[in-house]
Amino acid sequence: MKTYFILSILVSIIYMILKSKKSMHMLQQNWYNEGNRYLKWIITNYKKVFFTYDLSFVLFFGMLFLENKVSIIIYSIVYIIIYFLYNKNISLEQSKKPLVITARIKRLYITMFTLYLIPIFIIMLIFNLDMIEYYYVIFGLLIYLNYFIVYISNIINIPVERIVFNHFKRKAKNKLNSMTSLKKVGITGSYGKTSCKNALNDILNIKLNSYASPKSFNTMNGLMITINNNLDKFCDVFIAEMGAFTRGEIKTKSDFISPQYGILTCIGTAHLESFGSKENIQKAKFELIDSLPNDGVAVLNMDDDMQVSYKRKSKCKVLWVSTSNKDADVVASDIILTSKGTKFKCKFKSSDKLYDFETKLFGKENVYNILQALALAHEFGLNYDELIAGVKRISTIEHRLEMKKFGNINIIDDAYNSNPVGSKMAVDVLGLMPGKKIIVTPGMIELGDKQYEYNKEFGKHISSVCDSVILVGKEQTKPIYDGLIENKYNEKNIYVLNDVKKAFPLIQKLSDNNTYVLLENDLPDLFNEKD
């Protein structure tokens, strides 16, 4: 009987392994609960966490009145069914960022399994046939609480992670200190960081050996990994993207990298919920600029009032860019936005001539990103011909107004966007396209008490461009819906789904031979409302 009991427990452990993959995934996407993000996700998505298939463990209380053999059979069958149902459900979810099995995740798995093995070990020591039904209730409860077991595992691992972190931080810092001739550039901003970073990197590589932190590696861990694994003695320039959710994070990264050059793209409302106010965002983003040495160089946007009004602490040289103020060091004019990309003229303070630039990137905000990249690249010694060639070679970024094909449908993938300015620009780009226009969006998040307002305005803007609107998540997209209806948008052209997977068959049904579909904002590993 004890052997059959162990086999039945193994069945539930197999399911627990599958469930813990989802829990680990959410923990990883929420920065390992930094700023209590994982706990907030649990509260926000309580239906996913608490109303699950394994809630059926409460039925095990009924087994207290059954024979042991019957209990073992019921327990095994229940978890076999739950496993297949849960596996089917998971396979239907769309994941923009899958779980990455890092060393940290492996350590978490070890801790989590240890926590589960402790009660198993105790039960095996004191095993009593008359207690089997109680054991099943205990195991059922522990599996049901898997999200919290993962949370506890993360807390237990904090001392170990701190030791690992400090080791790799020292290693990265020593490597940076040894590269005395390396030019270090920090880039931050509410949005446009990655686009500006890639633009600068592509332009500089016309003449110099430049390396930029990959993708969105803008955390301390990401920067440390980049330095330790990718930076080498042949690099002339290192470009470090710096993200933040709270004040002090960018200062920490700046103290670590010690950049001589800094670019602040734009100050907006991204992550307003965690920062608390736009003034806090302003101070947080300027932590990079304030950390620059007096002989350093900052590149700022003269068209951003939050940048112009800030009283800078550093006495470093400042290069201003603009699309309207001729007093700026680099000024763009005659901007032409088309369905093929963007063209503009550029005036540098150091020259009387106007220079023509063209790029495959879309949108006016990308012009600002390119202007800031041009200002610093020119400071690094690139001539005008090299700058023009560099802008032409700027590549598009994955999930940032990236053009794709889905059969005969043109996809504009802007899934990484999540702010009011960028979202409006993406809709404007869709409006340039010569065909039927469809948007798929779950709306914007982490905008605090402004979230309803910004999403409603977003809905109003969509109403003037899109032929069809597909909203993902009935509750979170209600402000967009309200904005559409307020602007008298035809309700028959609004489709509300709770699972993004259902959007693509609908897109095919709505499309004709010349259709453009904008995938806008974070689709939807964390915010899919599908039960």
Angle at which helices 132-144 and 146-156 pack, to 10 degrees?
A: 70
Query: How many of the other CB atoms lie within 10 Å of CB of 336?
Result: 10
* Cβ–Cβ < 8 Å for 156, 111: yes
pLDDT of residue 93: 66
Please provide the CATH number assigned to the domain covering 179-392.
Answer: 3.40.1190.10
Give residue 274's Cα distance to chain centre.
15
The DSSP code for 341 is E
Cβ count near 504 (within 10 Å): 17
pLDDT digits (tens, 9 = 90+) for 435-462: 999 999 999 887 778 889 999 999 999 9
Identify which of 284, 270, 216, 285 has the alpha carbon closest to the alpha carbon of residue 444.
Answer: 270
Q: Which residues pair with 494 in a beta bridge?
A: 469
Q: Are 190 and 268 in contact (CB under 8 A)?
A: yes
Tell me the C-alpha distance between 280 and 267, whole Å.
10
Q: Give the number of residues written for the chain.
A: 531
Domain range 402-520, CATH class? alpha beta
Return the beta strands (E) in 87-179 as ranges: none
Non-local (6+) Cβ contacts of 353 within 8 A are 347, 384
Q: Tell me how far apart the alpha carbons of residues 453 and 244 are, in angstroms, rounded to a whole number.
A: 23
The Cβ-side half-sphere exposure at 356, using a 13 Å CA radius, reads 2
Task: Quote the DSSP letter at residue 435.
Answer: S
Low-confidence ranges of the chain (pLDDT < 70): 92-96, 216, 270-272, 417-418, 522-531
Q: Which two tokens stand for residue 450?
A: 């402004």
Nearest to 154 by CA among 223, 79, 104, 88: 104
Domain ranges of the chain: 2-156, 179-392, 402-520
Q: Nearest to residue 411, comparing CAs of 470, 475, 453, 496?
A: 470
CA 266 to CA 188: how far, in whole Å?
8
DSSP-derived 3-state class of residue 411: strand
How many helices (H) does the chain have, and how many strands (E)? 20, 15
Closest CA to 16 of 113, 129, 131: 113
| pTM of the predicted model over 0.85 | no
Helix axes 249-257, 220-229, angle to 10 degrees: 20
Q: How many Cβ atoms sit within 10 Å of the Cβ of residue 530?
A: 18
User: 463 near 494, Cβ under 8 Å?
Assistant: no
Query: Which pairing describes strands 409-414 and 402-406: parallel, antiparallel, or unpaired?
Result: antiparallel
Which residue in this structure is represented by tokens 């965690």? Answer: 274
CA dihedral 127, 129, 131, 135 (to 10 degrees): 60
Q: Scan for tokens 């409860």, then name that residue.
A: 141
What integer pLDDT is reported at residue 416 of this predicted model? Answer: 78
